[in-house]
Structure 1
Amino acid sequence: MRGWTAAAGAVCLLGTLWYLSWMVASPGTVAVGYLFMPVTMTIGALSVRRLRRSIPMEPPGRRFWLLLEICCLLFAAGFALLAVAAFRAAPELAAMPPAGAALIGSGVLVAMWGVGQVPLGVTTWAERGRQWLDRTIAFLGCATVLWHLGIAPMVWAAEPWSVPALSVLLLACLFAAGSITKVAYIAGGPVDRTAMRLVASTGLVAAVVSLLAVLGGYQGILPGQAVCMPVCGLLITLAAGRQRATAAHSGPAGTGNVWLPYLAVLAVDVPVVDVLIRPRFWTPGVWEGRLVVSSAVVVTALVALRQYVVWRDNMALLREKRESEARLRHETTHDPLTGLANRALFRQALDTALETGPATVLLADLDEFKTVNDSLGHDAGDGLLAAFAVVLRDAAGPGAAVARLAGDEFAVLLPGDVTGEQAAERVAAVTVRPISEQRLLVRFSAGLDTAPRGTPASQVLRRADAALYMAKERGGANWVRYADGMERPASAHARLGGDLRRALDDGEFTLLYQPLVALDGGRIVGVEALVRWEHPERGTVSPADFIPAAERTGLIVPLGRWVLRETCRQAAAWIAEFGPDVLEKASPNVSVRQLHDPDFVADVAAALADSGLPAARLVLELTESAVLRGHHVSQVLQEIHAMGVRLALDDFGTGESSLSLLRAFPAAIVKLDKSFVDHIELDEPGTPAADARQAVARAVVQLAGALGLETVAEGIENQEQADRLLQLGYTVGQGYHLFRPMPSEKLTEILAARRVTAAA
């Protein structure tokens, strides 16, 4: 392509040098000036043919370049006939032969057809209509200027131009106006935007030639033929080169030039002013002046129409904006699932009620709602919440304010003629029958409080919440009215949640790491991360105490996120210090609440990315009950598995569905529960008692081996157990006999000592 471009540029340069020498010394015949145009157009056709044969293109692009090649060949043939006529007419300048004009005109029509076929990327009728309106305005504006300054003076010249020449120039000007308006709206596609602009510029070359003919008369023909017209072939060659250079990638999509219609309005004012100032409007060329003024009027009318379309669109946007604002205001004060008021709007209603008189508040939540959510999925849980909201609204009666505060917790501000007990009994009467689309039987608990006028709303809600907590402590499925002293158990529960939040912020949690050991050699192959809480006042808090509290308050999600990130960071640090073979797996535990968190997959990806730990070294340990939590959890686990992270089933063998889980769950590791390891070493192999104790352990390792899964035996407390498990086929174990959980610093010392021993 560079060779064709260089050849076309060389021909253009030769044409310019020849014309300059002809002006100085007039060497040879004037007909030489007619040779440069057919030569460059032939080069342009060859370059386009090379382009079409060298790169694959989409059908619209292939059609465009094929039509452009045909256009170049027609131009070359037409201007070749003109060159022959020039040699015959020398030393006079030749007139355009009709056959040549027909070929050139056909080439212009083919080019116009090719440019018109290039897609613009608009899809809807509204977009297409607006774009055609803009393009019509721009086309009329450009065409008016070209007509007034180029074609009209040739039509009414003292020495009239030949019909073939006028026809060719008229088509060229139309091509120029149409190409400019078309190219201005190409935002990307099968034809490169820059290549299209180069092709469209050939129309401007024709306009320049027309202007030279008007201004220079007889003397303006030769520079147009020798200097200007050959540039068309060069532009087409450059366009082909540009298309080839960008064939490997699509250029960035742009937008149409929305300013072009307004520029056309300004452009059309130029001939209008010229017509009004010069006396030609009142001469025999009066029709030309009237045509210009008429065009200006049409353009102005179309611009007015376009402004109306814009105004209409703006009004539609304004309506959408108002509706969006109203919708946003509703969303900020209402729950999107149930349509009830949210906490902020309920507080506002309660404040207003307490300013004028006493108020009764009922707080209610669903017993065992978490079980429904986890077993049947969030869709079923959402349906249950929506159905219970309807039950509450009907039971409260007209005049009541019903709100969803959070999760499955609802609040009702009752009117004066309904007591809290009456409302609770109405709800209980409805919920004895199944509700929601899933036809679920539900139980609810409620806390009641009636406060006198002037009581702070926060105090009323706190008392009702304390009564609700007492109702839950009594086993649920009942309602309790607030009495003095009820805040203490609830406040202790709240303080534990507050302590957990503060502990997270203050860094009171630490991780201990219990090694996973190869039973045949004692090599550490991995670690399990275990979280511990060092309370500043209570000392070490057992996980059995704070993990359930974290689950209830939802703080298990940020706590689990911290455990995940810290485990990845520490494992990556050990690998960086001791080499890639130091650990095969680092295993934090994951709760079911984390699996329901919508950001959990992103948290895992971020922990791996920030620490640099390879995904295959991270093992997430999950209990069987966490895995059996519906479609959402299954989808999350599949996404984690697709990242390369391995999944381990902890406490395997204690549930009813363990074997079927190995088919549906993308597990990589199975951890035999400690209950099957205890006392496995007491009897000699072959005795009935030993066979009964070892049956499950043997079945698990054989099944895992058949499915290509790794196994880990938990709770190993002596060497005899380790030996018996090794005989059964277990290769990795974990337990106090092998290693107790330890801080990261202690494990670092052990790894360093083992490295020294291995080196020795």
Structure 2
Amino acid sequence: MGQPAAASPVAPPSGRTGLLVVPAVLVAVALVVGGLLSGPAVLGLVLAVAGLIVLVAFQATLWSRQRRLAGDLQRSQSSFRTLVKSSVDPVVILDGGLRVTFASQAIADLLGLDPACAVGAPVVAAVHPDDRSAVLDALRGSPSESGELAVRTARARHADGGWRLIQATIRDLRADPDVGALVLYCRDVTPRVPATGIDPDLHEFSLTDPVTGLPNRAALVRRLGAVQRGAGGPFSLALLRISGLATEILAPDTETAVLRALTARLTRALRGEDWLARGTDGDFVVLVVGSTADAEVVAARLVAAVGPVPIPGGSLRLSAVAGVTTLCADADTGETLRRGDLALRSAATAGPGSVHRYDDALCTEEDRRATLRTDLTGALARGELRLVFQPVVDVVMHRTVSVEALLRWRHPLFGDVSPTEFVPLAEESPLITDLGRWVLREACATIAALGDAGPHDQALSVAVNVSARQVRSGELVPDVIHALETSGLSPSRLVVEITESVLLDDSHVIEDLTVLRRLGVRIAVDDFGTGWSSLAYLVGMPVDVLKMDQYFLSDVEHDPARRAMCRVVLQLGASLDLPVIVEGVTNEAVLTLLRDMGHRYVQGYVFARPLEAAQLAAGAWDMSLPLPGALPEIPAAAS
């Protein structure tokens, strides 16, 4: 089954330029034609031209007024943001789906959170389960004339695992064009008593994870300290990380049910003498009575216990990795947890089902990561970052139709650093948004410099990956518009690549992607098929291209199931009139297999490694393809 050909990129004309040209053309036509006519005919022509000029002038005035109003709105919104950022009390702004779109810096003091990390999360994610219903009722209530909804007090989880009592004044400013959102003004009202410093009831909550009922990190730290101060042993630690929860997608009630079912499984898999708790970032931690070898056995049993969990409408595929370490006399509680976390990260790198033991070499790796994390903040200013461009080839027309812009880093000490190493570090902080903005500008400028004319009358397009944080920031549309305007690149020559989880995010993300499509920018779903996407999710979504992850190509030559999955993705794209690009094709045998299935667009080392900008400018992307065998014409699906 074939795929539709990529749309030919055509630069849309500037509205303002058109409005200025039309009157001049009309006058010129009137002068030429008037010379050929006389009498009433000339008068009629003049009146018609005059009327059209008045109409065009009116349109120009209207266009100018719209631009001025848009500028006023932008300045007003900027003033509001400045006011919010300067507020002493923490301020949180929510969208219509009650997800955080902005959190002021003061939230770091209130809950120990990086404000940027809160963006995109449901506001009730940090609220105690027993208080969520009341909070949601207040947020969904009818606004008063002043815009103030209510004042509510609820327990919110601090980054240290404890609970704080937070009072929030809720203002509904959705009708205010300068804001258009719900705004929460928060303050800490945690009750204090002279004897203990904290109310006893709240203190009990502070040591318990509200979802699973397990001891939380604060309780874990206490327990580890007591064990290390006491006699006996040996003791070890096993840290377990679950993948596939997709908590940003699951409904809160479903997430709670899944975590409780998972907790029950893990508890059944433990020995009687072991102790289970929740750690940071949703990890599970087990205090194991025994050596590191004993902890490895326990960890392997826990990893094996993790699997599909039933949810409404299907099941959730879960996997796990684990890291283990020994409680040593030379390491305090903080160092012990750090060592366990290093082992856990090592296991995560190895893949699902892995169990790794801590050793000192992991500290060296962590030191490298710490150095990279620090140096990355200034890498752009020092000129260490650059873009390379991976061709996407149409194997039917035998030509390159687009390139994907890929970020590279040449570190002065470590040399070329793999994107799989430094991109996750950037994604841990707001730095990823700055890098994403630079990549957009640089990619558009590089492709625009090639000009509009390409071989076969096909101008080259460029695809740019944008991070979930950049999409959720609400700045993606202005960033794209700025990159296009400063470079002069036609919107139809830009493809914005997002992941499946971003596509399934809240309404403001869908609205932003829809705006980009209206501008002429195409939207591609990257790594399609490895997450949550399905036909039901894609119908009606602002999507133009599907990119099939190279995961599907693993052993595709010998595995019938993999080949069937490749066909399914192709058929899904064809049924929705969406072209499918296959990533990671490295050899001719796989290329031939994909071609025979009907896959038309291919990307990978089988054609070329990523090209430097200079190679791109020299025309290296215009390859006369030495494709294997004779390629039959594959009819495109009806568009």
Q: Which has the higher strand share?
A: 2
With the length of structure 2 as denominator, give the TM-score of the two structures.
Answer: 0.48
- Higher RCO by CA contacts (8 Å cutoff, separation 6 or greater): 2
Q: Which has the higher helix share?
A: 1
Larger radius of gyration: 1
